[in-house]
Amino acid sequence: MKRLTITLLLLTIMVAATAAAGYFTLQSAFAGCQFHARSLESASAQEIENQALSYACANIKSKGGAPKVRLNRSITPAEYMSFFGDTPGLCQDQQLSIVVLQGDFELTGINYMSAQPPRATFVGIVFDRKVGIPAIISHSRTGDRFREILNDNSLPKSKVPLIPARQQIRACTYGQAAPPPAPPPKN
């Protein structure tokens, strides 16, 4: 009897821990929200929009109804940096698409170092079309970060200055390992 009680207690703890750790994933799966990364190189604008909505459904908690797509278009790394500032994770020949969603979001599926997940009214998902996953996810409570790209003067101006974009953007190296560091010079 004691062994059965201990086994049931351990099983209950394991189930509770798994449920707590994967609550959002389970919630997304039961809601039919699953994101499957796939190449978007030859995808239509509608397919890219659907991938963004699928990603948002699976990874970003919507507090209201379905989000509204405000923008869906291709964007070059240099163009992205002209709107949002320098971003070292991008490379020069990268094929990108940006989808800006508007809604009432709680960013629970994205790793943040705060006790309370941030809230946002706008979420921008930038897909690397070659690998089919988000390269960048940005958000704003007021829409100020998206004022320029949406060409929407009703949104407030951003108070945060942009980090100037580099003149030279690194080359893309899909699937390649970084070269090993050079050995120190011998004396």
- Quote the CA–CA distance of 26 and 20 in Å, as a whole number: 10
One digit per residue, pLDDT tens: the chain, 187 residues? Answer: 555 444 444 344 443 333 333 433 334 443 568 889 999 999 999 999 999 999 999 988 888 788 999 999 999 999 999 999 998 889 988 999 999 999 999 887 555 566 777 889 999 999 999 999 999 999 999 999 999 999 999 999 998 888 888 888 888 887 655 555 545 555 4
Nearest-10 crossing angle of helices 2-30, 45-59: 150
Distances (CA, A) of 97 to 88, 130, 164: 17, 10, 21
DSSP character for 40?
A: -
Give the H/E segment covering residue 9.
helix 2-30
Can you give the pLDDT at residue 185?
52
User: What pLDDT shows up at residue 46?
Assistant: 97
pLDDT at 180: 52
Which pLDDT does position 109 carry in this prediction? 57
Position 186 scores a pLDDT of 55
Whether this model's pTM surpasses 0.85:
no
Query: Rounded to whole angstroms, how far apart are CA atoms 80 and 136?
Result: 10
What pLDDT sits at residue 128?
95
